[in-house]
Structure 1
Amino acid sequence: MESAKPSQDLVRSLTDEHVLTALVRHRRLTRAELATAIGISKPTAGESVRRLTERGLVADTGERTPGGRGRGRVGSYYALSPQVGVALAVTITPEGVIAEALSVYGDTVARAARQIDRPARPRQVSAALQSVAAEVRDACGRPARLAVVGVADPVDRATGRLMQLPDAPFLVGELDPAGILAPIVGERVVVDNDVNWAALAERDSGGPGPSRDFAYLYLGEGLGCAIVNDGEIRRGGAGLAGEIAHLLTVGPGGQAIRFIELFGELGLRRAGSTAIDVDRLLSSPDRTHEVLAAAAAGVIAAVVALADPLRVVIGGPWGVALVGDIRAAVDRLPRRVPVQPAAVTGEPVMAGVRSEALHGLRALVTAGA
């Protein structure tokens, strides 16, 4: 039985995809260089460039190879057209709203930020989000193809809307980032919790320990946890997996207490808020640090029992500072697990958001084939 041969249309589309991928990798190539990089003939490379140029995906840069006087024909350099657009990477945190426009090569071509009040209200955050997104899109002069958003609040998995949970310290009220960005972004908006994005940045960091099965515990102004299993974030049915604030743990004197309530007991909350006062916490006595470490270990015990991670990564400003105390407390548990500080400490949420935004933009570009 003869095997079916691929159609000419399929062969052309695969060739075009390889050309686009090569231009993402090398930024600019002549048709001869494309042929060599992909392993196709020069005429085939030339036809692919012609098709992609007609679709507005590839453009002649105007640059030429030296050529002439025994050095062969002059070659034209081609690159991806500016019309392939940019991806927006956005974070919404207590510090403010930040948006970056990323090129398909991973370059940050524009960045904007707006401060917001504490506690944040949906109307102000909505205005700030719309403003920074429009600013970076206009600054780079290219269409925004998609946006990836990391936000310091629970996110409804089905709708991408923010959810207001009891004692959530950041945003007071619901917010719809996807709806706000829809008039600015051409194709899609991805919204997820900030801790999930930080965990994905940790997964891709190449840090010590298994990278595909771990729990990421964020301990800062807010409290959160992400479970990475087989390399994927486990979000739960509604997207609320890892909301650890109301887990029962051990408090002063061995009493049972909800994790978030411990900080009120210790006088470590910001005035008028459930947000944790990180500066006051870090300057508190060693005995307070021991109480906090024991409480964090109680939360880790619950995570280990339910999710069975191979290691626990501690992120967040006071979590990293107290990681030694937390590790010592975990070592006293019946089921011990390696505890390590986060490898990504500089803007971990934005690092995860950028990575997803770049991956999504490149997928859209190659899908144009």
Structure 2
Amino acid sequence: MISFLDLKKINEPYKKSFQEKTETVLNNGWYILGKEVKAFEASFADYCGAKHCIGVGNGLDALILIFKAYIQLGKLQKGDEVIVPANTYIASILAILQADLVPVLVEPKLETYNLNPDLIQEKITSKTKAILVVHLYGQLAEMDAVNEIANKNNLLVVEDAAQSHGAVSNELSAMSDQNSAVAYSFYPGKNLGALGDGGAITTNDSELAKILFSLRNYGSEIKYYNDFIGVNSRLDELQAAFLNVKLPNLDAENERRRIIAKRYLIEIKNKKIILPFWDFSDNHVFHLFVIRTQDRNDLQTYLLDNNVQSMIHYPVPPHKQKALPQWNKLPFPITEKMHNEVLSLPISPVLTDEEVSFIIEILNKY
């Protein structure tokens, strides 16, 4: 069986380094916000071309804390509207709701699965104060167009880069605006994955960063002195150590993903399968390789019968979730079409050339 994602195999090369780092952390005797977190924050900020990196508990917390920090700064207030793609993982929307803000859903482009900038302006009202952009499946959204709209309407831009570690466009990382804040997840299956939960925020805004460092730690800059109503969301010391071990290989692993994706795009020749759009630049790191097909369940069963595991990202769009009944009857036909047709093929840095060839062969016989 070709696994969709073999995390054990992905982390195997790092096993000795992980064990050494575990020993180091144990011997340091400092397990919360210690040297390893500071070291990773410095390394990841440098990697992203950002002034600041704030390590937090997970990717959802990263987004929530960005919005709460902007509220603390007075740049947002409870009840403000935030533009967000209708086609996204629900965490993007949960973050807006948990910050007491109002999500306004906008359809994606069918070709890229990402937010359609052409549809943003019509959704902007006097209450709109921010745009949350999601770089879905590893491909950067059209940030030039989004930033132009944001500047024209005096809107904040927040980026959900949970799936796009290392994606670059015009030699810029996912943080494409000087005043933007970018949220990352280090969930084990991400391109840069920990061995547990973890997340981070990068920004060039020093005032925002100062509040974020405090908010993640009970709203406290100095122990036992609390300036804000904060939370406990700190990147774990051991996970930070593991991430710092893996970070130097991220670009090479992303490039391996691109090589596999290029083969899929060139060699899969089946009229029943719609391949994803990619301009062959570095703006895509292929966290996922997502195809579309009319009878997804049939194709998924066929692949499984031929020892190829696939996944659906995601079977139910946010506006159809039981948790969000207020949106259940709203029409988002492009989003719904995607969620009814998408299927993710195996793609990871440890997938062999032989396995890729087999997957292509099986798909072409479908």
Smaller-chain TM-score bracket: under 0.3
Structure 2 length as normaliser, TM-score? 0.24
Q: Normalized per residue, which structure has more strand?
A: 1
Who wins on radius of gyration, i.e. which is larger? 1
Larger RCO (CA within 8 A; separation ≥ 6): 2
